[in-house]
Structures are given as structure tokens and as C-alpha cells.
């Protein structure tokens, strides 16, 4: 898979993530209204457990790829921390769900596998840029999911786990956001420079 195709594949994988991953500034008024309406109802604990388990496995998997392939020192350090902290969180969730006899995924799903394999096809700065974007999207999704369970879950133990984990996941989001934004800014500046060059050469 060439670089352009790989980048497109990663983008496609990211676009198929949960609607929670959309930045609020990009949502229409209608979408926000629907989201607010949905926020009034309780969160099904079994669905949260399954989604959190799937997301946690995906996070560890993609972070391991980042640990191996990232060239940005900040991303390497971030990856190491994510592998450690999300592995612990996954174990806590597995212990709780086992006690409550709730079945959860034991392996990453097809979407996460597709995203991981797409990232694995990239190298250097291109990998760093797409990997940072992937981590941003994953953590935006996770924050919304854990916050919803912490506030509107029905099982007290599951709610407590989500409330305990939420500050740490929010911290992860605060860590990765400026890194991802830096790559986005660099990408915008590169496009502007190319466009300026084209205009100059056409004179």
C-alpha cells in the first residue's frame, strides 16, 4: 500500500469511529440538539462495558504501534504511558465484568484492526501525523463514553469505575491534543506554501 492510499485508509478508519469523536464545533445545531436529548436518558451499563473494553484493547494496540514506529519523542513517550495506563484500566474492567458475568470483547474489532494495519503502512513524519490524529480521535471518544457512564450509568460499581478512570483519560486527551494540533498546523502551512509556490510560478 503506497503512502497516499495508507493515509486515506487511516482517515477512513477514523471517520467511522463513534459520533462521540466529532468535535463539538463541527456539529450542526440539529446534531447538538439530538445529542442533548439523548443525554437525558440512562446509559446501558452492558453496552458501556463492551464499548470500553473494545476501545481499551484498540488503544493499547495502536499505542504499541506508536511505541515502535513513532519518530517524534513526544509521541513515543505518550505511547509508552498509554500502553501502561490503558493496560491497567483494561484489567480493572475485565475484573469487574467477570464479577458481574458481563461478556466483553477479548480482541480488537475489525475497525481497529483496519486502522492499525493502515498506520503500520506509514513511516516517519507521515506516520507521526496520522498516529497523533488517531490518538486524538480515540481519546475524544473515550472521554465522552466514560463521562456518560459516570454520570448516567445505572450500575454503581460500573459508574464508580468510569468516574475513577475519567480524570486520567481526560488527562490523556489534554496531552495528545496539542501534539495533534501541531501536526495539523504544520500540514496547513505546508499546503499554503505549495499554493504560494504555484501562484508565484504562474506569474
For range 127-141, the mean pLDDT: 95
Determine the CATH number of domain 3-15+42-188. 1.20.1260.10
Nearest in space to 81 (alpha carbons), one of 174, 199, 145: 174
**Torsion (CA) 73, 75, 77, 82 in degrees, nearest 10:** -170
Mean of per-residue pLDDT scores for the chain: 81
9-45 pLDDT per residue, tens: 444 444 334 333 333 333 344 444 445 545 568 999 9
- Judged by average pLDDT, the poorest of 20-29, 61-70, 138-147, 168-177 is 20-29
Q: Which residue has the higher pLDDT, 155 or 195?
A: 155
pLDDT at 145 over 60: yes
- Helix count and strand count (H, E) for the chain: 7, 0
Dihedral of the CA atoms 135, 178, 1, 108 (nearest 10)? 0
Cα separation of 9 and 160, whole Å?
A: 37
Residues 146 and 164: their CA atoms lie apart, in Å, by 9
Task: Report residue 187's pLDDT band, with 50, 70 and 90 as the boundaries.
Answer: low
Instruction: State phi, psi for 3 to the nearest 5 degrees.
Output: -60, -45
Main-chain dihedrals φ then ψ at residue 25, nearest 5 degrees: -65, -20
Q: Residue ranges of the domains in the chain?
A: 3-15+42-188
Give the model's confidence band at 129: pLDDT under 50 very low, under 70 low, under 90 confident, else very high: very high
Amino acid at each position: 500500500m503506497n503512502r497516499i492510499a495508507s493515509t486515506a485508509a487511516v482517515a477512513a478508519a477514523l471517520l467511522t469511529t463513534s459520533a462521540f469523536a466529532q468535535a463539538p464545533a463541527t456539529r450542526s445545531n440539529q446534531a447538538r440538539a439530538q445529542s442533548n436529548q439523548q443525554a437525558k436518558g440512562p446509559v446501558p451499563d452492558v453496552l458501556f462495558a463492551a464499548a470500553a473494553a473494545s476501545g481499551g484493547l484498540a488503544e493499547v494496540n495502536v499505542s504499541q504501534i506508536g511505541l515502535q514506529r513513532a519518530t517524534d519523542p513526544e509521541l513515543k513517550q505518550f505511547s509508552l504511558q498509554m500502553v501502561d495506563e490503558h493496560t491497567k484500566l483494561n484489567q480493572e474492567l475485565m475484573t469487574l465484568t467477570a464479577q458481574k458475568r458481563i461478556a466483553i470483547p477479548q480482541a480488537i474489532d475489525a475497525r481497529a484492526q483496519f486502522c492499525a494495519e493502515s498506520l503500520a503502512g506509514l513511516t516517519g513524519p507521515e506516520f507521526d501525523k496520522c498516529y497523533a490524529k488517531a490518538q486524538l480521535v480515540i481519546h475524544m471518544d473515550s472521554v465522552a463514553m466514560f463521562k456518560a457512564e459516570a454520570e448516567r450509568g445505572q450500575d454503581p460499581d460500573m459508574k464508580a469505575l468510569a468516574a475513577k478512570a475519567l480524570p486520567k483519560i481526560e488527562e490523556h486527551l489534554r496531552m495528545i491534543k496539542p501534539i495533534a494540533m501541531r501536526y495539523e498546523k504544520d500540514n496547513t502551512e505546508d499546503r499554503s506554501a505549495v499554493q504560494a509556490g504555484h501562484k508565484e510560478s504562474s506569474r
